[in-house]
Amino acid sequence: MKLTVSTSERDDVVVVTVSGEVDVYTAPQLRSALEDRIAEGQTALVIDLEDVGFIDSTGLGVLVGRLKVVRKVGGWLSVVCTNERILRLFAITGLDKVLPVHDSVDSAIAAAGAELAEPDVTA
């Protein structure tokens, strides 16, 4: 199956919308799209997997690899997914403990914003 990757921006966050299947053949396309954005200095990323029917270990490796890259430069990466099969894969592999998984783009952006907000300091 073909993979489609598109990007948009919301509130200084890059939303990468993925549809199709992410496997050994299509994962390089996803990796390239993410690397292009990171190279442009865009390191606040939400990967929307709502229209992904299948992801294999190569696809998971792309997500983990880009997560490491953006964290090194102070960025973050979150995933949007409600597909039970994919969520189960994240749980089995332990990636749900490493990659923040949300049920919507809005909640992913809100959660990241809350984590990154500096606490109020009263003098």
pLDDT at 115 over 60: no
- Phi, psi of 98, rounded to the nearest 5 degrees: -105, -45
Residue 49, C-beta contacts closer than 8 angstroms, at least 6 positions apart? 18, 55, 79, 80, 81, 83, 86
In a domain, 36, yes or no: yes
Reported as a pLDDT band with limits 50, 70 and 90, residue 119 is very low
Instruction: Please report whether residue 122 resides in a domain.
Output: no
Structural domain includes residue 103: yes
Domains contained in the chain, number:
1
Q: Answer whether residue 121 is part of any domain.
A: no
CATH code for the domain in which residue 21 is found: 3.30.750.24
**Going edge to edge, which strands form the sheet with 13-22?**
3-10, 13-22, 44-55, 76-80, 101-102
Tell me the per-residue pLDDT of 82-93, one tens digit each, with 9 for 90 and over. Answer: 999 999 999 999
